């Protein structure tokens, strides 16, 4: 997957994408590997390149989202002021990721506010869509009962 294809980068400059790639590293993970646990220090931001990652919360673990589309982002907690991850992330199949230090990414975003705003708008849209999907899952289906 070419990273510019990720929805997060729609509308950003090629220079911004290059800077993002320069501070990121590719990582491969096996099925069952835990990337982080809920309440772990939030140090990295991830973009899915291939595979599938289950995001879950609570004990017992309640699945809240499966990131399975190339270009999907997760681990965004520290980008919005959180010190810890709000969920746990586990690979449910062999997975390839782009892993970015949140500290380095914050510096890139601050140095390029125009592209930073676009990036955060895209991130907000992504999170909003996930929230709507979650509502559909947790809202009881209503039917016509007599």
Q: What is the DSSP string of 22-77?
A: HTEEEEEE-TT-EEE-TTSB--EEEEEEES-EEEEETTTTEEEEEE-STT-EE--G
Locate 146 and state its tokens: 């007599």
Identify which has the larger pLDDT, 134 or 117: 117
Q: Convert the pLDDT of each residue in 37-54 to its tens digit.
A: 999 999 999 999 999 999
pLDDT at 91 over 80: yes
Cβ atoms of residues 36 and 54 within 8 Å? no
- Ordered by where they begin, the domains of the chain are 3-138 (2.60.120.10)
pLDDT at 125 over 50: yes
For the stretch 121-127, contacts whose Cβ atoms lie closer than 8 Å and that sit 24 or more positions apart, written own/partner, are 122/7, 122/8, 122/9, 122/10, 122/11, 123/8, 123/73, 123/76, 123/79, 125/7, 126/7, 126/8, 126/72, 126/73, 127/76
- What does the pLDDT read at residue 141? 67
Cβ atoms of residues 19 and 108 within 8 Å? yes
Task: Write down the mean pLDDT value for the chain.
Answer: 88
Distance CA 70, CA 8 (A): 12
pLDDT at 23 over 70: yes
């Amino acid at each position: 997957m070419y990273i510019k294809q990720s929805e997060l980068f729609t509308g950003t400059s090629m220079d911004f994408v290059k800077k993002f790639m320069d501070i990121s590293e590719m990582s491969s993970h096996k099925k069952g590997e835990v990337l982080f646990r809920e309440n772990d220090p939030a140090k990295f931001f991830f973009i899915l390149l291939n595979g599938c990652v289950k995001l879950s919360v609570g004990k017992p673990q309640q699945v809240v989202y499966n990131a399975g589309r190339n270009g999907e982002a997760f681990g965004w907690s520290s980008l919005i002021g959180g010190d810890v991850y709000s969920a746990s992330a586990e690979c449910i199949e062999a997975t390839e990721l782009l892993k970015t230090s949140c500290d380095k990414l914050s510096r890139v975003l601050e140095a390029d506010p125009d592209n930073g705003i676009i990036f955060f708008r895209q991130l907000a849209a992504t999170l909003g869509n996930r929230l709507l999907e979650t509502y559909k899952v947790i809202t009881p289906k209503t039917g016509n009962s007599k």
